[in-house]
Amino acid sequence: MPLFRTGGLVAKGDVDQRIADATLELLRTRGPRGVTVEAVTARSGVAKTTIYRRYRDRREMLSAALGRLTPTAPPGADADPRERLRWVIEHAVEAVEGGIGFGGFAALLTDEDPEFTDVFRRLLAGQRAALETVIEDSWAGVDAATLIDALVGAYTAERARTGTVAEGWQTRLFDLFWPVVGSA
């Protein structure tokens, strides 16, 4: 059912997408406490009444936005082992960078907003399971959990140390881990 607003017709899906985009941007930059209906209204341009017609509260709004995040399909079985490791490196940090962001990650580490900790951990567990499967299917001798922890830890340390993740970071990590992973 379309919604009407000044300036023309807006599809329901477009409004939902604007709400989800604003919600995730606030989460990534400010953490879960920064996700309020008022902040989403200001960021998205969607009226508060419209948001409340869709979601009972900020928790439901945040859960719906996180539910829109879908993991990337893993590389095919015929992919070169080097390309598989590059894919793992790229996607090991995607749950942070493209998912909950450092705002959500910081809240998770500090348990700042316990109401959302379980939601975040479920999201991360699903993405992590997909990575573990690729690693286990690719390199039988590699401890998948430790590799993922090392990659995410290196990413987090790089961001903490410099305030950003330097260009070439993934290549440096590949060069560090390939001798170990490639020999497994």
| pLDDT range class, residue 9, cuts 50, 70, 90 | very low
Residue 58 has pLDDT above 70, yes or no: yes
Q: How far apart are CA 45 and CA 20, in angstroms?
A: 12
Q: What percent of the chain has pLDDT over 70?
A: 92
Q: What is the pTM of this model?
A: 0.76
C-alpha 4/C-alpha 52 separation (Å) is 16
pLDDT at 108: 85
Sign of CA dihedral 46, 50, 52, 57: negative
Residue 7's SS3 state is coil
75-112 pLDDT, tens per residue?
A: 888 899 999 999 999 998 887 788 888 888 888 888 88
pLDDT of residue 13: 66
Judged against a pLDDT cut of 70, whether residue 10 lies above it is answered with: no
Distances (CA, A) of 173 to 88, 92, 98, 130, 132: 11, 12, 19, 20, 18
**pLDDT on residue 12:** 60
User: What per-residue confidence (pLDDT) applies to 36?
Assistant: 93
CA nearest 130: which of 90, 172, 102? Answer: 90
Residue 111: DSSP 8-state: T
Residue 3 has pLDDT above 80, yes or no: no
For the residues of 146-166, what is the DSSP string, one character each? HHHHHHHHHHHHHHHHHSS--
Q: Which residues of 93-121 are buried (b: 16+ CB within 10 A; e: fewer)?
A: bebbbebbbbbbbebbeeeebeebbebbe
Q: What is the pLDDT of residue 173?
A: 94
Task: Look at residue 172 in the predicted model and tell me its pLDDT.
Answer: 94
Question: In angstroms, rounded to a whole number, what is the distance separating the alpha carbons of residues 11 and 114?
Answer: 35
Higher pLDDT, 9 or 84: 84
pLDDT category of residue 6 using cuts at 50, 70 and 90: very low
HEC string of 46-89 equals CCHHHHHHHCCCHHHHHHHHHHCCCCCCCCCCCCCHHHHHHHHH
